């Protein structure tokens, strides 16, 4: 922060900064996140936070892992919240670091409300969500004038482990041209069935982006009809985002990472100019 021409806030003892770490690449952290990493006495992070990001912490910072490991059940949310409260009451400068954005399918709201209930002062530092910035990194825009003016973020995994209740799939099928689905791999077969029952076509483009922005990022371009089989055949694993809709076609023109490796980009990936010129 030393070369900034403006002042960044101080992380004070007894405070919790509820911070988004972005999709993985430390370059996608915000300045506020970096500022917090450098000042924290203790960082409580979840499984999606990249190891490289944690190296930005100060040398005396205590790093506490509060996520799922090796298939064991994750710590209870109430235990994590209680721990944050205790650390703050002990006078620590606490950075709670969560993958992506803390308020998008990240239970950040629950943790913040627990801090409110306990009277702990806090700051919220937004992060780049995997379903937004992770897809941009993979060359897939969420909107494009020629394909969609609306997009829906959905989770494929509810608190019980099943598909979440209360999602009106037929309404999404007809009403949302682009669907960005977090935690979608496990129930992808059911999601596909519900969307196709709602009128979506088997040849609709789908991309599955695993470990977006990380060195081992993988992107599968497939179709709604083939996505489940292709995910299995290609062994695509979580964490992954599934995006369904015409925007996926734009990747043929916007896969800048692929271009670094020699992919020839198509300047007219939707074929609109070709059609227009022919007409
Ligand atoms: N708060 C996070 C989401 C937490 S839910 C955010 O805003 O990004 C966890 C899910 O996020 C994962 O199952 C996966 O669907 C998605 N996810 C998180 N990081 C990801 C990454 N680097 N690449 C692909 N998907 C990711």
Which stretch of 62-71, 192-201, 225-234 has the lowest confidence by average pLDDT?
Answer: 62-71
Is the confidence at residue 51, as pLDDT, over 60? yes
**Helix or strand (DSSP H, E) at 169:** helix 169-175
Alpha helix ranges (H) inside 40-131: 51-54, 77-89, 108-118
Band of residue 7 on the pLDDT scale cut at 50, 70, 90:
very high
Is the confidence at residue 113, as pLDDT, over 90? yes
Mean pLDDT, the chain, as a whole number?
A: 95
Predicted confidence at residue 279, as pLDDT, reads: 60
Indicate which atom in ligand 1 lies nearest the CA of residue 157.
13
Predicted confidence at residue 69, as pLDDT, reads: 60
Topology (CATH level 3) of domain 131-278: 3.30.950
pTM of the model as a whole: 0.95
Indicate which atom in ligand 1 lies nearest the CA of residue 23.
22
Residues with CB under 6 A from ligand 1: 23-24, 48, 98-101, 104-106, 129-130, 134, 182-183, 209-214, 238-241
- The dihedrals phi and psi of 162, each to the nearest 5 degrees, come to -90, 180
What are 252-271's pLDDT values in tens digits? 999 999 999 999 999 999 99
Half-sphere exposure of 161 (CA within 13 A, CB side): 2
Domain ranges of the chain: 16-128, 131-278
What distance in angstroms lies between residue 238's CA and the mean position of ligand 1's atoms?
A: 9
**Does the N-terminal peptide bond of residue 199 adopt cis geometry, omega within 30 degrees of 0?**
no
Name 251's Cβ contacts closer than 8 Å, sequence gap at least 6: 138, 139, 140, 207, 219, 221, 269
CATH class of the 16-128 domain in this structure: alpha beta
Predicted confidence at residue 271, as pLDDT, reads: 93
Is the confidence at residue 132, as pLDDT, over 70? yes
Percentage of the chain exceeding pLDDT 90: 88
At CA 62, angle to CA 57 and CA 66, rounded to 5? 100
**Helix or strand (DSSP H, E) at 98:** strand 94-98
Query: DSSP secondary-structure letter at 279?
Result: -
What average pLDDT does this structure show over 228-253?
98
Band of residue 158 on the pLDDT scale cut at 50, 70, 90:
confident
Half-sphere exposure of 100 (CA within 13 A, CB side): 23
Is the confidence at residue 48, as pLDDT, over 80? yes
The answer to whether 209 and 132 have CB atoms below 8 angstroms apart is: no
What are 14-44's pLDDT values in tens digits? 999 999 999 999 999 999 999 999 999 999 9
Predicted confidence at residue 176, as pLDDT, reads: 98
Ligand 1 pocket test: which of 130, 231, 237 has the largest number of ligand atoms within 8 Å of its C-beta? 130
Which stretch of 56-65, 69-78, 84-93 has the lowest confidence by average pLDDT?
Answer: 69-78
Active site residues: 46, 68, 183
């Amino acid at each position: 922060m030393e070369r900034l021409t403006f002042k960044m806030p101080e992380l004070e003892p007894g405070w919790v900064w509820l911070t988004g770490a972005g999709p993985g690449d430390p370059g996608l952290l915000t300045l506020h996140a970096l500022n917090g990493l450098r000042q924290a006495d203790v960082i409580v992070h979840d499984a999606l936070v990249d190891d490289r990001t944690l190296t930005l912490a100060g040398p005396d910072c205590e790093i506490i892992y509060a996520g799922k490991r090796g298939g064991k059940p994750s710590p209870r949310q109430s235990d994590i919240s209680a721990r944050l409260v205790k650390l703050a009451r002990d006078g620590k400068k606490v950075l709670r670091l969560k993958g992506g954005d803390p308020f998008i399918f990240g239970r950040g709201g629950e943790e913040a409300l627990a801090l409110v209930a306990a009277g702990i002062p806090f700051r919220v530092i937004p992060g780049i969500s995997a379903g937004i910035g992770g897809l941009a990194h993979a060359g897939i825009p969420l909107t494009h004038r020629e394909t969609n003016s609306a997009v829906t973020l959905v989770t494929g995994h509810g608190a019980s482990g099943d598909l979440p209740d209360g999602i009106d799939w037929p309404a999404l099928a007809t009403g949302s041209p682009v669907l960005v689905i977090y935690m979608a791999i496990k129930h992808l077969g059911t999601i596909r069935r519900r969307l196709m029952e709602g009128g979506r076509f088997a040849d609709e483009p789908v991309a599955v982006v695993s470990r977006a922005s990380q060195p081992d990022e993988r992107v599968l371009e497939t179709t709604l009809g083939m996505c489940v089989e292709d995910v299995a055949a290609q062994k695509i694993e979580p964490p992954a985002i599934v995006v369904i809709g015409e925007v996926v076609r734009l990747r043929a023109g916007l896969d800048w990472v692929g271009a670094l490796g020699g992919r020839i980009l198509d300047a007219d990936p939707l074929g609109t100019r070709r059609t227009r010129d022919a007409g």
